[in-house]
Structure 1
Amino acid sequence: MELQKLADIDYNSKVASVRLPLIEVFRRFASVKIPLISFLSISPIIQPRLYSISSSPSMFPNTAHLTISILQRPEAMYDKNQTFTGFVSNYISNIEENNYIFGFPKPHGSNFHLPEDNETPIIMIGAGTGLAPFRAFLQERHVKLRNGEKLAQALLIFGCRNPNHDELYAEEINEYLSSGALTAKYVAYSRVENNKMYVQDRIKQSDCKDMIWSLFHEQSGKVYVCGDGAGMAKGVIQTFKDIASEFGFDGEEYLRNALKELRYLEDVWA
């Protein structure tokens, strides 16, 4: 009866919304016995994990860096003393030096890359490991500057929980500020006492908002958003609509056109 209730009444709240793994269900209902072939027929196929490369081939021609969050959390429902570990992230974190893993580049390429025209300003917005492609962007810009190329301005808005724990690549990013590869950086901390802020909140503040509008609208720049698609990315795109409306445009139409023109680009995940 309890299993039937979970499958019918409680499915959305206790399975779908918390992404309850099938193995947790069978651990809870250990008395359930099914043939292996039946188990395999209902088990989801493991999907490839797609990671943004967080290094520039101009700076690291023979290696590709990844920025990965290692998933380890209490089991979702039945046994808080058990730890759920992310399958691929933990596998990668335990690989020893000189061992191999199988991978492949995304076959159809991506629009999520630096503009071909160095005179196009860029606005990079991300949280957590969403910083990955922007580290690669900044490395590439750093090399271009070193080679004497002139670059448009670049703005980074980054969100993390606490500057003492997860402000990724902070020292390296500051080096790019010093070199000019990065023009300005704004950081939003979501777990600092009395100052909880997300990237969409930081964008709304006048100093950041005015610079974004100047680069994006007045100078026809490009916006790149990377990270959590369910929360952060939705909040950011709504903030951009609000800003466009504040400056006298139809926010919905303005962002629809920017997406169509590939001036507002997303690399997000659920």
Structure 2
Amino acid sequence: MTQHSTTILDKISVGGTDEQSQGLTEFIPADAPFDDEQRNWLNGLFTGLFTIANEAAKGTQEEAPGTALQILFGSQSGTAESLSKDLRKFAKTKGFDASVAELDSIAPADLATSNHVLIIAATFGEGEPTDNAKNFHDALMSDDAPRFSETVNFSVCGLGDSSYPQFNNVAREIDARLSELGANRVHELVACDVAYDDDYAGWKEAVFQTEAFVLAAGAAQAADPEESGPAFDKNHPFIATLLDRRCLNEPGSAKTVNHIELSLAGGGEDLDYSVGDALGLWPVNDAADVEALLDAGGFTGRESVSLKSGPTKLRAALLTRLDIVTVTPNTLQNWQVERPFDDAHIVDLLQAGVDGLSAQMLVEGLRPLQPRLYSISSSPKKHNGEVHLTVGEVHYRLNGTDRKGVASTYLGSRLQPGGNVGVYIQRSSHFHLPEDDTLPVIMIGPGTGIAPFRAFLEEREMRQANGQNWLFFGDQHEATDFLYRDEIGTWQENGLLTKASLAWSRDGAEKVYVQHLIESEGAAFFEWLEAGAVIYVCGDASRMANDVDQAIRRVIATHGNRTESEAGAYLDALSKAHRYQRDVY
């Protein structure tokens, strides 16, 4: 009996066959120890079971999909994109069929057919939209923007930095304009500061509790929560180890740019990265700066204070948890003071005097210390288990005193080889090499902007890519500021680097920058574009990136025999095709 039972069960498959869906099916073998009546009864039983199973499976397949939700983002560093993907996971648990896309992937008119839209928009530079939101933003703000009906339910979450005058300018403009054009704002704009976690989480929860979203979800089947994200992220960093640090400048340089090598051993696949990604890194404040701040405020550092994470001592909070430099509107409001001068730091406010300032009031006027993002300058194919950075130390004078950057000097001198630092991978969806290794690549990265292009060249070398590579690099002096000189020379000799155009701004009577070389070699530059080249730009956003953009437009106009507007349309088309990509800051 046991032997025959096993045979019978082995014949049963999920869903049955076409024959098993028609009338009584012969499940019971003829040689089984049953008479005809028993065999017919068992065949009827199994046929009934299969019918029930098939109908249940069919019902599951035909179940109505969740309500459509469009999630759009404008992101420069990757934060808004990362939050959008988190929002999609959350939306699915609420019964929505959510999609995620860049703002520039659609035109404003496309929103007219969307009933539920959530937007996460970062503000970049001096109150400007990010590269992947500019076209949408400009079209939405134009006089030709379409009208919307109240069936377009939307809410906007902005990402910005309150220390800048144009705080969350882009999100505010998009939010106001959508409402002005007739769309239904279901939840007011949430303008997140650099410490965005709590505000974003509150907005996310609140939106799905609004009437428009609750009614839309209705009886839709909520999806099971997706698998959790990576084990290591901004709030759960991996503890990396500093392996090596060396200065890339020669003696006599006015700059200090360090090559940093960190070990990711033991991090597993959550720390796998691609060239073009960035590394998030948690710095520690300089102990000397903490002491100066304590002295200026009349504190010992032993005072007990309460943070969101719990109670701690003031000195510990100032060392590792709080931004002790940046003055924000919240600082001025909490302490009831004014800036003693433009660009004043926290220590300057304390030295000027803050009446009745307690240790708890001090920490409540400071924003949380935030991680820094650095372009990765290594290929994982060449440096397994490691990640490399190219970091320029920041030193300057303000109000008659020497100041310095927190993270750049932490990596440059205070963190010692063998020391530990918290890190995570900030993935980029747009700043990556083309999958086609035969395509030519143009890389424009003066100063520390060379970082991702060292990684690109290492990657193309390891992949044995046969596409041509053209590097534009520049700095102050060739003798002292030629970063990665030996590696670039080797790549030129072995043919990996097809062209290297180098600009030294302080070596001649006239200052020469990379944008000048783009124009002087404009004919060849345009030939590369016509051959399918992908342009990458990395570095300073305040001047360099715009100067390079204008130079490229002039090259297209001159050597492509186009008008100014036609050249702009040509470059816009390259951008939409992901053939003009920027990692600027």
Instruction: Point out where structure 2 has 5 or more consecutive residues left out of the alignment.
Output: 1-331
State the TM-score, normalized to the length of structure 1: 0.84
Q: How has the CA–CA distance of structure 1 residues 25 and 197 changed in structure 2, closer, same or farther, with 3 Å as cutoff?
A: farther
Cα deviations across residues 175-198 of structure 1 (Å, max 9, x unaligned)? Answer: 011112110000111112314111
Are 1:268 and 2:575 counterparts?
no
Cα deviations across residues 238-267 of structure 1 (Å, max 9, x unaligned)? Answer: 111111222223122122221121110000
Structure with greater contact order relative to length (CA < 8 Å, sep ≥ 6):
1
Q: How does 1:48-59 map to 2 (within 5 A)?
A: 48-59=371-382
Alignment partner, residue 101 of structure 1 = 421
Q: How far, CA to CA, are the matches of 2:381 and 2:432 in structure 1?
A: 14
Of residues 219, 225, 229 in structure 1, which corresponds to 2:541?
A: 229
Q: How far, CA to CA, are the matches of 2:491 and 2:548 in structure 1?
A: 24
Q: How has the CA–CA distance of structure 1 residues 153 and 39 changed in structure 2, closer, same or farther, with 3 Å as cutoff?
A: same
Alignment partner, residue 49 of structure 2 = none
Are 1:38 and 2:353 counterparts?
no
Q: How far off its partner does 1:98 sit?
A: 1.4
Alignment partner, residue 524 of structure 2 = 211
Alignment partner, residue 220 of structure 1 = 532
1:221 is aligned with what amino acid? A
Q: How far off its partner does 1:30 sit?
A: 3.7
The more displaced of 55-64 and 227-236 is 55-64
Cα deviations across residues 196-240 of structure 1 (Å, max 9, x unaligned)? Answer: 1111111110xx222211111x11110000000111001001111
Q: How far, CA to CA, are the matches of 1:210 and 1:144 in structure 2?
A: 29
Contact 1:26–1:32 (CA under 8 A) maintained in structure 2: no
Contact 1:120–1:221 (CA under 8 A) maintained in structure 2: yes
Cα deviations across residues 69-122 of structure 1 (Å, max 9, x unaligned)? Answer: 011222x22xx2x3211101111122111111000001x433212111011110
Q: How has the CA–CA distance of structure 1 residues 260 and 33 changed in structure 2, closer, same or farther, with 3 Å as cutoff?
A: farther
Q: How has the CA–CA distance of structure 1 residues 87 and 255 changed in structure 2, closer, same or farther, with 3 Å as cutoff?
A: same
Q: How far off its partner does 1:63 sit?
A: 1.2
Of residues 439, 458, 468 in structure 2, which corresponds to 1:139?
A: 458
Are 1:25 and 2:349 counterparts?
yes
Alignment partner, residue 240 of structure 1 = 552
Instruction: Point out where structure 1 has 5 or more consecutive residues left out of the alignment.
Output: none
Alignment partner, residue 200 of structure 1 = 515
Q: How far off its partner does 1:173 sit?
A: 0.5
Q: Give the strand-richer structure, 1 or 2.
A: 2
Cα deviations across residues 14-47 of structure 1 (Å, max 9, x unaligned)? Answer: 23xxxx43333333x1465523333333323332
Alignment partner, residue 370 of structure 2 = 47
Alignment partner, residue 573 of structure 2 = 257
The more displaced of 186-195 and 31-40 is 31-40
Contact 2:523–2:555 (CA under 8 A) maintained in structure 1: no
Which one has the largest radius of gyration? 2
State the TM-score, normalized to the length of structure 2: 0.40
Q: How far, CA to CA, are the matches of 1:33 and 1:21 in structure 2?
A: 19
SS in 2 for 1:164: helix
Q: How does 1:80-95 map to 2 (within 5 A)?
A: 80=400, 82-93=401-412, 94-95=414-415
1:213 is aligned with what amino acid? F
Q: What percentage of aligned pairs have identical amino acids?
A: 32
